[in-house]
Structure 1
Amino acid sequence: MEISARNSFKGTVKKVVHGSVSSEITLEVAPGVELVSIITKSSAEKLGLVEGKQAYAVVKSSDVIIAID
């Protein structure tokens, strides 16, 4: 994976909360360290984000973007 953002953190999906339009994704990037991102529900489903899956928190400016390999 190559991206323009300089900061990315690999972690494990700890929690997924789906709403009608958006999903709240919690990643554990280190023991006791969690990052939370709100993404569209369709993106969460397309990425197959479920508890236990490995993913990345990609930070660019004020946004946290979720990515997978």
Structure 2
Amino acid sequence: MSIQSINVRNQFRGTVREIIEGPVLSEVDVATPAGIVTSVITTRSVKELKLAPGSEVIAFVKATEVSIATL
């Protein structure tokens, strides 16, 4: 499958660094040039996508809200 077009503008190309697998949900850490992006997805999706450390992926971030705090 190849993506023809997508409306998500925040895309981070990277490599799966670590997967913490749970019975239902898993945490997937993706190393990108901007830093680590962590996604929580179903364990079923991890298996269907055949994700493993070293897999090259694109992390898509679509949020309805982005909060900013001062330092």
* Whole-Å separation in 2 of the counterparts to 1:14 and 1:30: 13
User: How many residue pairs were aligned?
Assistant: 61
Shift of 1:4: 1.4
* Whole-Å separation in 2 of the counterparts to 1:17 and 1:61: 23
Q: Which residue of 2 aligns with 1:18?
A: 21
The unaligned stretches of length 5 or more in structure 1 are: 63-69
Q: Name the SS for the 1:52 alignment partner.
A: coil
Q: Name the SS for the 2:54 alignment partner.
A: coil
Read off the aligned partner of 2:13 and give its amino acid letter: K
Q: Which residue of 2 aligns with 1:54?
A: 56
Shift of 1:3: 1.4
Identity %: 34
Aligned-residue CA RMSD in angstroms? 1.3
TM-score, normalising length: structure 1: 0.82
Q: Which runs of 4+ in 1 moved over 6 A?
A: none
